[in-house]
Structure 1
């Protein structure tokens, strides 16, 4: 089949590139060294250089980093002088053959494997490495703050023993999880050219698996869960089982991945095909040109570990990889190899490059959230001195016009938070009047309506009478908060596991969560009181175009994270007003439309119906969707002989800022004749057209 990049057998067009085409990646069998092994100081530059010189103009003090050869002057040993600049710089060593070959990786097709070099910056590291250095000794920590600053050594845990009961539990869980999502036998075409639904399912499965491994590791003595890196282990399992999307590398946009999509782990980007290396900042592929293969960059990650200049939402000044930090603490100039060479080639081939920006995670100051900022093109390249004194490559990337906002939206939100600018359309800066730990803005940018009908804001659920427990309810004496693996009766009520991470991410699914109650002595910050500690994200109530008032977040929300509970007044089933538009009815049936296993959700021991018409919280503004991004979870708080049941809302998948939060209202039973069907405007491709 003719290569998508070729207009003929041995030519490369300069016209538009088909960014949706899947490129076949073949190993590079033979390459001519990029630099001559022994440059002649008296000879002019020749065509022996496989790389192409960067184009200017160069900023003041910068020097073009090509060609590397000695001048007629007699410099010091190991240095040369660039004509017209008159300063010395090191002559790079000859580049090894296959220096930018993409080796076969155990991680799966298309991934860049480990170089096993000592360079720790923007180089390809094995996916089982247990630290993620950003090139300056800092940790590139994942969503749950997992990671430790230590030498990169492979740890041996029980998970590495195929005969262990631990592995048997994991393997059984994985097979059950994949079976419930129909991922045991995946259509190869859908795997190669994935749609949005399939990409979402892959990420959801990965996160459910990662969270379950985290929960199992939490109670295991000996090795901490942080050292075991459940994010990498879950990713390796998904790769091995074939639970991944867009398995072939490609230039340009990736099917099923939208501009503005977010990731909390590098492995998520690997699994959906947006950026293959689990740690390297530059991803590239071999493309056949004039009979030979050359590398072209397909994506880059700019996460703050280098001297990048990325504050401009339309322009990114990106630093090359390598040469910044070595194990022997020596500094060295970057070389025009591997990812750097791929970026240089992409400059001259004018292909689009995907840009992912790693930003600070609001929920975990040492963690990052990765934002897909869309397609860029490389316009210039040059060399300049880094702060450490070594020469580094610089590439100017300009965002392709006409794409949705991504990084620029994040900048605007941060300015709202910092008070630098005012959020347009604000009616009230905090409709909760201080009832919540974080303010909730009321915003209307659609029409002149000044707000919803009057109601009293309450942050908790109110019972006329508490539910009596048939047995003596446990309570704990954990003055410092409940801990995993302890004999705490509240933890034991959850099967001996913690239900949440410290960041408020739910580790279990479809089971009743037992939280500490009023009789427990643990503080409000206890990991077993997540739903009681208030909002975790900065929310806003906003006017939609056709659905009344809705709810969304200024902050990114990770899969499984607690959002809010449904507050209001618990009412009797026979006292329900069918004209009440602010009803939560747990007795409804829920068609499994959302990307969750097709099992029955946990049930309340009695018909729980909540009215938020007169009293309620932000949960009352969450609209229905046939393809929701939020689900509800039953929670019980026990206190002596009484129990109170609550409804908590959690994220099904990662939710970018300013995306509406929705859940499935469910279907009423046939005997409730008073319920009126309402037209659904969710806009989902799976919309059934109505809800109750």
Structure 2
């Protein structure tokens, strides 16, 4: 907490000389200051288990890469900004905002997203306010990779901790114990939060408009919104060089009855005035975050807007979507619906930005609920699979007359040669859901690969699922990918990539998507097919992205990636020249959001595993899926699948 700023119980008197701030909070959130550090790692791990996490946390130095030259001290702007005019709220984004003073020539600054070194729990946030501008494509990829890696680590750590709690107290106990908060606390203690040494104003490098977060703590971890409960994040006046506060972001989640949200225009109610039941009970004051928003209006500074929305199918009651930059154009004091005085702020979205993520969420919900009789304009079919999948597969093209996906037979499962099934498939004898000690758990290296919600805990060279010879019930948590497609997907035509695949559902990190299917060919058969110009996919060429999912080496340096169960080099191919499924239209990308996980469940021949696709990050509706095929871009473009 900043010096001179304290968050008090409203019933207690303020400390002399301190500013009392009542935060705009949400009932479901929990402060990290009250959370004790969990015991993540058992004190005496079983011997000879190479997959267990190490006991000692990492204290590796931070990434101090200095590759960005365009940094601006916003905190210095107040010395020269009083005579500046407020910018037109409809004016497109401009990196050379009038109230910004650049660093003197010759000064070098480190990256604002450099990971801070391990620190104590009570580390104060920096009062250094910066903006990053003029990023190249390579710079954007660099920032995106940092954000993505940190969020992936958080998801993996949270899932792991939740599973440990559920093993002790039963399914659901991990959610009640708020493992989202505990995982964030552990990351903060070990210095894995981003932007503790700097605050980013304006556009946030590495975060895209439409990105979705399941937990408020994710916003804090990356620094997009630094308050775990408060709806307004700001630099307080006590930390400013001239005593002026500035707001950097707000969360709009329906906590105040006087809010009016029309998308591009937002009437936002300031904080304060709520009782313990979150009802208005007294007048608001122009202080704290309210004053910061008013000052942002005065200086024409943009504010990041994150919306909290209830979303069907989410693992949480609410999701948070980043909707871009707004400017505060008006501020007034009004009598609210409850009869108490409230401060209201009118914010208008700045033009020239991508479509709001919240709008896309609502559009995707409409698509999922529309009747499957007459396709709307642009849709070639509302079910390419012809009911061979659990959910329909859409095909959309509003660019040209190409209808290539309709020319192939839909194949829901991979077809293996008969000899693959020779030798049978031994199963477990479990009566209820399997556990780490059953025969299937032992085949997986002593741990079931999934949690109780079906999310992959960490990638492995190979995952054994329970099969038809197992006695466990169909709802066993070790039966996930074999159940087939449950995510609504759409094959669409793109000017950039040809044919691609996007999701109509929100996909959770670690969640199963679908199988990459085809007709299995031996090495010799594949050579003949290739000579004839047919389309084949080589499973052995997919990049081993599974090693990144569940990797906790940032915190535990002795973490060893799973090496068991192991598989030999794969030299078979998938023929997709005549029969294919939706996965065959997923395009190539060296930084994918989907990974291939090899899975076995219906046979024991480790040379022919199933290619199951899992999400490496939270994938919002209408966002394109991409895979790393492990081949050069110029070679991939020769494949007939996506062109």
| Shift, 1:542, TM fit | 0.9
Aligned residues of 1:594 and 1:628 also touching (Cα < 8 A) = no
Q: How does 1:146-225 map to 2 (within 5 A)?
A: 154=35, 158-159=39-40, 164-165=43-44, 173=53, 184-187=61-64, 189-190=110-111, 191-192=113-114, 195-221=143-169, 224-225=173-174
> Between Structure 1 and Structure 2, whose CA radius of gyration is higher?
1
Whole-angstrom CA distance in 2 between matches of 1:439 and 1:647:
21
Change (3 A) 1:620 1:337: same
Answer with 498-507 or 351-360: which moved more: 498-507
* Residue 321 of structure 2 corresponds to residue 371 of structure 1: yes
Question: What residue is the counterpart of 2:490 in the other structure?
Answer: 540
TM-score, reference length from structure 1: 0.68
Q: 1:663 to 1:599 in 2, by over 3 A?
A: farther
Deviation at 1:540, TM superposition (A): 0.4
- Deviation per CA, 1:192-218, whole angstroms, max 9, x where unpaired? 577222222222222232233333334
Whole-angstrom distance in 2 between the partners of 1:158 and 1:355: 35
- 1:78 is matched with none
In 1, the alpha carbon distance for the partners of 2:638 and 2:162 equals 38
Structure 1 residue runs without a partner (length 5+): 1-25, 32-91, 102-114, 130-153, 669-675, 683-690
Q: Which residue of 2 aligns with 1:631?
A: 595
Paired with 1:220 and 1:589, the residues of 2 have a C-alpha distance of 37
Looking at structure 1, the residues matched to 266 and 602 of structure 2 have their Cα atoms a distance apart, in angstroms, of 53
Q: Is the CA contact 1:593–1:626 (under 8 Å) kept in the aligned structure 2?
A: no
What secondary structure is seen at the aligned counterpart in 1 of 2:495?
coil
Contact persistence 1:473–1:641 (CA under 8 A): no
Determine whether 1:127 maps to 2:127: no
Partner of 1:429: 382
Q: 1:351 Cα shift?
A: 1.7
How far apart are residue 277 of structure 1 and its match?
Answer: 1.4
User: How far, CA to CA, are the matches of 2:354 and 2:228 in structure 1?
Assistant: 26
> 512, 515, 539: which one pairs with 1:586?
539
**Residue 229 of structure 1 aligns with which residue?**
178
- Greater relative contact order, per chain length (Cα 8 Å cut-off, separation 6+): 2
5 Å matches for 1:514-533? 514-533=464-483
Root-mean-square deviation (CA), in Å?
A: 4.5
1:69-93 CA distance string (max 9 Å, x none): xxxxxxxxxxxxxxxxxxxxxxx99
Equivalence map 1:607-622=2 (5 Å): 607-622=571-586
Which structure 2 residue ranges, 5 or more long, are not aligned?
7-11, 66-109, 115-131, 133-141, 552-559
CA contact (8 A) 1:158 1:166 kept: no
What TM-score do the two structures reach when normalised by structure 2? 0.73
Correspondences of 1:201-600 after superposition (within 5 Å): 201-221=149-169, 224-247=173-196, 248-286=198-236, 292-307=242-257, 309=259, 311-326=261-276, 331-364=281-314, 366-383=316-333, 390-406=340-356, 407-419=358-370, 424-452=377-405, 454-465=407-418, 467-468=420-421, 473-478=426-431, 482=433, 488-576=438-526, 577-578=529-530, 582-588=535-541, 590=543
> Is the partner of 1:195 in helix, strand or coil?
helix
Distance 1:394 1:175, change over 3 A: farther
Single out whichever of 556-565 and 283-292 deviates more from structure 2.
283-292
Q: Aligned pair in 2 of structure 1 residues 503, 648: CA closer, same or farther (>3 Å)?
A: same
Paired residues of 2:2 and 2:239 also in contact (CA < 8 A): no
Are the structure 2 counterparts of residues 324 and 345 from structure 1 closer, same or farther at C-alpha, using a change threshold of 3 Å?
same
Give the superposition deviation at 1:518. Answer: 1.2
Count of residues in Structure 1 that have an aligned counterpart in Structure 2 = 547
More deviation, 240-249/629-638: 240-249
Q: Which one is further off, 648-657 or 460-469? A: 460-469
